[in-house]
Amino acid sequence: MKHQVIIEKILKLWSSSNSILLTGAANLDGDALGCLLALYDLAVAQGKEVVIVNEKPLSSLYSFLGVADRVLTVVPKKEYDAIFICDTGSFDMLGTVYSENADVFAKTQIVNIDHHTSCYGDFCWSTCSFENTSATMMVAKLIEIGCGPQAITKDMATYLLLGLYYDTECFRNANTSAEGYKFAARMMEFGADHNRLIRNLYQSTAPAYVGLYGEVLASLVSVQEGIGMIGVVTQEMLKRRNISIDCLGNELVNDYLRSVQAKFVILLKETVEGGYRISLRSKDDAYDMRPLAAKFGGGGHKLASGACTKHYSLEEVMNIIANHVFYMDTSST
């Protein structure tokens, strides 16, 4: 009932808005991107003025979608009736889109759609229920309730399925649910291009990346007596292979590091500025990644969290991880 009320309010705002700004976390992932692209197509079909803005250009990981020109890096100077933020835990995660346009956000009604527990803005629809395995499942529900299932085109279905595949690693992680499988089937009924997603997301690793993955795996660091393993990607490693950190997705931590025998794995990626992007993955319910991510200003799911820090050296990050006391949830073992 609570969700129905907020959905109706969001749909009312969408319907009355002629100019809409769509945005998400600076490190735009497949789920957030899928949400933004589906809403973009819906807005265009309805004759609305709409822009997608992100701090960074769209990663080449998603070049196969052919939508790079839709993602702007500067907020056009104009009045907006609504701002929709998808799959993003806080305003700060928007990066310069928010920090350099605080006045725009202050005077515009804001909708936050997130399948985590974040809640901010004028209209907050957030839930961590398995009924919403990805934020794209929430956006699809919003579209179907507001416009009917006929509003979901083949392209929109592909974008929405992208979000689900990204957040479940194509049904291989603990975020997988029966509802997720049902959603995938429904999107395929709408014409979602399953084969194109699988081929480009999981079967198109460039040789330079394979070499990088091998180097990281060969130099893993054991922490807490082997309970966890840490992999490090340095800027020197990236430059040697002409790889941008923004083009380095989650394949390394999700598919390769997590195959290593350990309770949890962590990937540290050195940024151009000298900080670190931190990806944390647990393979055991007893090891909750969220408190450790929070120490670096991040968050996420129990088994999959992330953070980004500019304030710690590699040695300091390693020490914080090594000395972290995990909450042992014995009820789940």
pLDDT tier at 133 (50, 70, 90 boundaries)? confident
pLDDT score at 247: 82
- Cβ contacts of 58-63, under 8 Å, gap ≥ 24: 58/28, 58/33, 59/28, 59/246, 59/247, 59/249, 60/244, 60/247, 61/247, 61/249, 62/30, 62/33
Crossing angle (nearest 10°) for helices 154-168 and 30-45: 160
pLDDT score at 129: 60
pLDDT tier at 60 (50, 70, 90 boundaries)? confident
d(CA 333, CA 63): 42
Task: Kindly state the percentage of the chain with pLDDT values over 90.
Answer: 74
pLDDT score at 332: 45
- The DSSP code for 150 is G
- Residues 6 or more apart whose Cβ sits within 8 Å of residue 309: 275, 276, 278, 296, 297, 317
d(CA 75, CA 98): 9
Instruction: Indicate the burial class of 109 (C-beta count within 10 angstroms; 0-12, 13-18, 19 or more).
Output: middle
327 has a pLDDT exceeding 90? no
Half-sphere exposure of 328 (CA within 13 A, CB side): 5
Q: Which of 32-46, 67-81, 153-167, 284-298 has the lowest mean pLDDT?
A: 284-298
295 has a pLDDT exceeding 80? yes
Q: What is the CA radius of gyration of the chain?
A: 20
Mean pLDDT of 173-182: 88
d(CA 87, CA 9): 19
**What would the pLDDT profile of 113-125 be if each residue is shown by its tens digit?**
998 777 899 999 9
**What would the pLDDT profile of 31-58 be if each residue is shown by its tens digit?**
999 999 999 999 999 999 999 999 999 9
Mean pLDDT of 307-313: 89
d(CA 329, CA 307): 22
Structure tokens belonging to residue 12:
């009312």
Q: Please tell me which residue, 113 or 60, carries the higher pLDDT value.
A: 113
Go through the domains of the chain in sequence order and give each one's CATH number.
2-201 (3.90.1640.10), 207-332 (3.10.310.30)
Q: Position 63: which residue type?
A: S
d(CA 136, CA 187): 11
Q: Is the pTM value of this prediction over 0.85? A: no
> For residue 193, what is the enclosing H or E element?
none
How many Å from the N-terminal Cα to the C-terminal Cα in the chain?
33
pLDDT score at 119: 86
- Residues 6 or more apart whose Cβ sits within 8 Å of residue 246: 27, 56, 57, 59
Q: Which of 41-55, 57-71, 119-133, 150-164 has the lowest mean pLDDT?
A: 119-133
List strands edge to edge, sheet with 264-270: 221-223, 228-233, 264-270, 276-282, 304-309, 299-300
**What would the pLDDT profile of 190-237 be if each residue is shown by its tens digit?**
999 999 999 998 888 889 999 999 999 999 999 998 999 999 999 999
Asked if residue 293 lies in contact with residue 306, where contact means CB atoms within 8 angstroms, the answer is yes
